[in-house]
Amino acid sequence: MSAAAKRYKYLRRLIKFDQMDFEFAFWQMWYLFTAPQKVYRNFHYRKQTKSQFARDDPAFLVLLSFWLCVSSIVFAFVLRLGFWGFIKFLLFVSNKYLIKPACQDQDVEWGYAFDVHLNAFFPLLIILHVVQLFFYNVLISQDWFVSKLFGNSLWLLALGLSILHKTQLLLYPLTILAIIYIVSLVIGWNITHTLMDFYKYRVL
């Protein structure tokens, strides 16, 4: 089946909720945090049984879109943005993180590349756009050392969370992240507070 035919089939299934396997998509989201290798083992099995790595069920994309909307609503609430501010924030995050470049080569399995992108984005979304918000007003926005430690640790965890296996070369940037993390604590820079201000004033 050509890439265009696979794309058409996938996009056509986006409106057929009764045919989506949301339970399996929730399972994948859970294991992206606890055991990402299980998710990628499932990709391997799919290649053996269906001759493609990519998901043929858009349930994961639908759930990720739901989480993106929910996190944007909570962000708008925490940052005290109005309705239009919420819409601008949602569009900003969507345009920044969810747009993928068009594939020129039909031999590339674009669906798998998109799935890898979604898998990598989901843990970061939950840590920075859901978990962090529960602590922002209570702890992270304060001018305490523990606030900087906790907020910056969330960013280090989210950016350093690797879903790849045996890729030492790709993990070298973690050293740089660790150095930035330590320097930010030494100089008293609250990364979360800075980026929340950036989000807030970017959409106002």
Tens-place pLDDT, residues 85-114: 777 777 776 666 655 555 434 344 566 677
b/e burial code for range 73-92 (CB count within 10 A of at least 16 → b): ebbbebbebeeebbebbbee
> What pLDDT sits at residue 59?
84
Query: How much of the chain, in percent, has pLDDT values that exceed 70?
Result: 76
Query: Which comes out higher in pLDDT, residue 38 or 112?
Result: 38
Average pLDDT over residues 10-38: 82
What is the C-alpha R_g of the chain? Answer: 19
Average pLDDT over residues 34-44: 82
> What pLDDT sits at residue 191?
87
Is the pLDDT score of 192 beyond 50? yes
| Tally of residues, the chain | 204
Q: Which tens digits make up the pLDDT trace of 126-174? A: 888 888 888 988 888 888 899 999 988 888 877 765 554 554 555 566 7
Structural domain containing residue 156:
3-203
Kindly report the average pLDDT of the chain as a whole number.
77
Worst-scoring range by mean pLDDT, 11-15, 96-100, 179-183?
96-100
Sign of the alpha-carbon torsion through 170, 175, 178, 180: negative
Average pLDDT over residues 190-204: 79
- The pair of structure tokens assigned to 65 is 């879109």
Q: Which tens digits make up the pLDDT trace of 71-80? A: 888 878 887 8
Local confidence band at 187 (pLDDT 50, 70, 90 cut-offs): very high
Q: φ and ψ at 188, to 5 degrees? A: 80, 30
Worst-scoring range by mean pLDDT, 16-30, 119-133, 162-176, 181-195?
162-176
- The pair of structure tokens assigned to 43 is 């990709």
Residues near 120 by Cβ (< 8 Å), separated by ≥ 6?
A: 163
**Domains identified in the chain, total number:** 1
